[in-house]
Amino acid sequence: MVHRSVGRAGIVLTGEGGFAVRQMVQDEKRKAERFAPGVPIIEILVGDSEGEVSIRKLQKHVNKLPKKLSAHQMREVRARLKAVGGMSVPIPKGPMPKGIRIR
């Protein structure tokens, strides 16, 4: 699982898991770099191994990150990422219509 959050430190990508999660974090980093160039992107892997942050220390670790963006820049980055949207497929919501034949 990979979480993307935007704060004063920049874009923070937090992932928990093995090799597959590392690849997902790299993919998300490439997307974020494309949509928000020049914004610092910080990767945090959660776990008990070396180079990973314990889940108990995660909040403290994120709070200690250096502040690189102003409040105005942070709002701009959030708006830009929100405008791009997520990975959701544009499928209409609601019940499927009856009586339509798919060819």
Q: Tell me the percentage of the chain whose pLDDT exceeds 70.
A: 85
The residue that leads in pLDDT, 100 or 76, is: 76
Q: What is the mean pLDDT of residues 33-57?
A: 92
Q: Is residue 5 scored above 70 in pLDDT?
A: yes
What would the mean pLDDT of 32-56 be, rounded to a whole number?
91
Find the mean pLDDT for residues 62-81.
92
State both tokens at 47: 């776990």
Count of alpha carbons within 13 angstroms of residue 18, beta-carbon side: 2
Residue with tokens 């034949």, as numbered in its chain: 101
3-state secondary structure the chain: CEEEEEECCEEEEEEECCHHHHHHHHHHHHHHHHHCCCCCEEEEEECCCCCCECHHHHHHHHHCCCCCCCHHHHHHHHHHHHHHCCCCCCCCCCCCCCCCCCC
What's the token pair of residue 16? 């928990």
pLDDT digits (tens, 9 = 90+) for 14-33: 999 888 899 999 999 999 89
pTM: 0.77
Residues 6+ apart with CB under 8 A from 44: 12, 13, 14, 15, 53, 58, 61, 62
pLDDT score, position 87: 52
